[in-house]
Amino acid sequence: MVSFTLRRLGAGVVLLIAISILTYSILFFSSANIARNLLGDQATEEQIVLKEQQLGLDQPFLSRFADWFMSALSGDFGRSWFTSEPVAVAIANRLPITLTLVAVAILLTAIISTLIGMLAAVKRGWMDRAVQIGAVIGYAAPGFVIAVLFVTIFAVQLRLVPPVSTISPGATAAAWFTSLLLPVIALAINAVASSAQQLRSAIIKQLERDYVRTLRSRGIAEREILFRHVLRSAAPAGLTILSLQFIGMLGGAVIVEQIFALPGIGSLAVTATASGDIPVVMGVVLFTVIIVIVVNLLVDLVNGWLNPKVRVS
């Protein structure tokens, strides 16, 4: 298990380096006008040249990447070209919001879609059909349409929660709750729609396994079979489904944060890529990939732990 973890972490590091190079080179070719955009329309040519020197934009690709990479290795991700904020601070400020958003949404998705998926798998009939139809509709409705609908109805019309995030440093739990309630639901709806459907299939697959029939023949109650045996066997498949949803949600958070003006990683990513703020984009991409690697590793570890074949040997 330890060597497995180390191997995976090693592969993760290689992945991080590969993605760094890829992203940096994509961004490199888009950074031609940074100095001008920083300086605005009053700037003279000399000013622009000077600014490019200050930012090191006059350096060739390899030396720029090497500079960035070496500082990043030592933990220094530089400062945003546009807000002068250290990238590490910028991410540290925003990460808790995005992580809370996504974590709560995935938790909600896990609970609701397991419940729905289970009911549909066990009850079949109208329940099953309702889930299938709900899944199709929930899946087909673009997430941002739902989010905008939510803001309009619950925040602007009914005034139940503020339409714009009130999370700031030192904000109360209530502020976090009211600010994240709608974004979490908006994120979770699409995820529930697609994962309930997949969990249903995973559970049905387990329910059809031979040992379930044997357990029934032994007089074990249906409820116990479901909760103790079937759900446990379906867990690896479920975790994999949810980990993919998690990665998807990091993307969905970009849009949702934009709509609810949540100061998270997603909105940082949008402004940074729109303005070509390379240090920030690099930081965001790296941290996101690290999160994804960690989540995937955790899922593999939990799946390994759930599987006695791996655990025992």
Partner 1 sequence: MTEPTPAGQSGVVVRSSVFGRIVRNPLGLTAIVALVLIGAAAAFAQVLAPFDQNFSDITNTLAAPGGEYILGTDSGGRDVLSRLLYGGQLTLASALLCASVAILIGLPTGLIAGYYGGWFDSTASWFANMILSLPGIMVLLSVRAALGPSVWLAMIVFGILLSPGYFRLTRTVVQSVRNELYVDAARVSGLSDLRIIARHIMSVVRAPIIIQTSIVAGVAIAIQSGLDFLGLGDPAQATWGIMLSDGFRNVYLNPLLLVWPTLAIMTTIASLVLLGNAIRDALEDGQKIKAKRRPAGEKKPSRSAALPTVEAGTEQHLLKVSNLAVGYPQADGSIKKVVDDVSFHIDRGEVLSIVGESGSGKSQTAFSILGLLPDTARIVGGSIQFDGAYTVAPGDETVSSERLSALRGRRISYIPQEPMSNLDPAFTIGSQLVRPMTVVLGISKAEAKARALELLAKVGIPNPQRTFDAYPHEVSGGMAQRVLIAGAISCEPDLVIADEPTTALDVTVQAEVLDLLRTMQRQLGVGVIIVTHNFGVVADLADRVVVMQSGRVVEEGDVLEILRHPKHPYTQTLLASMLEDKTPMTKLTVDAAGGIA
Partner 2 sequence: MTFGISHRRAAGVALTLAAGLLLTACASAEPAPSGATDEPGEFVRGEALRLGVLGDPLSWDPSQAHVGHLLQPYQAVYDTLIMREPDGALSPMLATEWSYNEDLTELTLELRDDVTFSDGEAFDAEAVKANVENFKAGNGRQAAQLADVEAVEVVDADTVVLELSQPNPALEYYLSQAAGLMGSPAAIGTEGIATLPVGSGPYVMDSTSSVPGSQYVFTANENYWNPELVKFNRVEMKVLTDVTARVNALVSGQIDATLVDARTAGQVEAAGKTLSANQVDWTGLLLLDRDGKLAPALADVRVRQAINYALDREAMLEQVQLGAGTVTNQVFGPESGAYVDELDETYSYDPEKARELLDDAGYGDGFELTIPTFPGLESIVPLLTQQFADVGITLIAESVPPQNIQADIAGGKFPAAYFFLFQGEPWVAINQMISTEATYNAFDSTSPELQKLIDEVRITGATSDDAAKKINEYVTEEAWFAPLYRLDQMYFYDPNTITSVPQTQMAVPSIYNYSPVQK
Interface ranges with partner 1 (CB under 8 A): 11, 15, 18-19, 23, 26-27, 29-30, 124-125, 132, 136-137, 139-145, 148, 152, 209-211, 213-222, 224, 229, 232-233, 247-248, 250-252, 254-255, 258, 269-270, 273-274, 276, 281, 284-285, 288-289, 292-293, 296, 306-309, 312
Does residue 180 interact with partner 2 by CB under 8 A? Answer: no
Rounded-to-integer distance, Cα 261 and Cα 97, Å: 12
Rounded-to-integer distance, Cα 252 and Cα 257, Å: 9
CB of 291 to partner 2, least distance (A): 20
Reference 101, options 200, 16, 191; nearest CA is 191
Q: What angle is formed at CA 172 by the lines to CA 166 and CA 177, rounded to 5 degrees?
A: 65
Query: In terms of CB distance, is 176 or 190 closer to partner 1?
Result: 190
- From 57-65, 74-82, 98-106, 123-131, span contacting partner 2 (CB under 8 A): 74-82
Rounded-to-integer distance, Cα 197 and Cα 117, Å: 6
Does residue 71 interact with partner 2 by CB under 8 A? Answer: no
Among 217, 274, 308, 309, binds partner 2 (CB under 8 A): 274
Q: CB-hemisphere CA count at 13 Å for 47?
A: 11
Among 88, 237, 261, 299, binds partner 2 (CB under 8 A): 261
Rounded-to-integer distance, Cα 162 and Cα 84, Å: 30
For residue 79, the cross-strand partners are 86
CB of 109 to partner 2, least distance (A): 25
Among 25, 71, 168, 214, binds partner 2 (CB under 8 A): 168
Q: Which does 215 bind (CB under 5 to 8 A by kind): partner 2, partner 1, none?
A: partner 1
Does residue 268 interact with partner 2 by CB under 8 A? Answer: yes
Coil vs helix vs strand at 152: helix
Residue 187, Cβ neighbours under 10 Å: how many? 29
Reference 136, options 193, 203, 75, 72; nearest CA is 193
Query: In terms of CB distance, is 47 or 258 closer to partner 1?
Result: 258
Cβ atoms of residues 256 and 147 within 8 Å: yes
CB of 254 to partner 1, least distance (A): 5
Coil vs helix vs strand at 86: strand
CB of 122 to partner 2, least distance (A): 42
CB of 73 to partner 2, least distance (A): 21
Does residue 154 interact with partner 2 by CB under 8 A? Answer: no
Coil vs helix vs strand at 307: coil
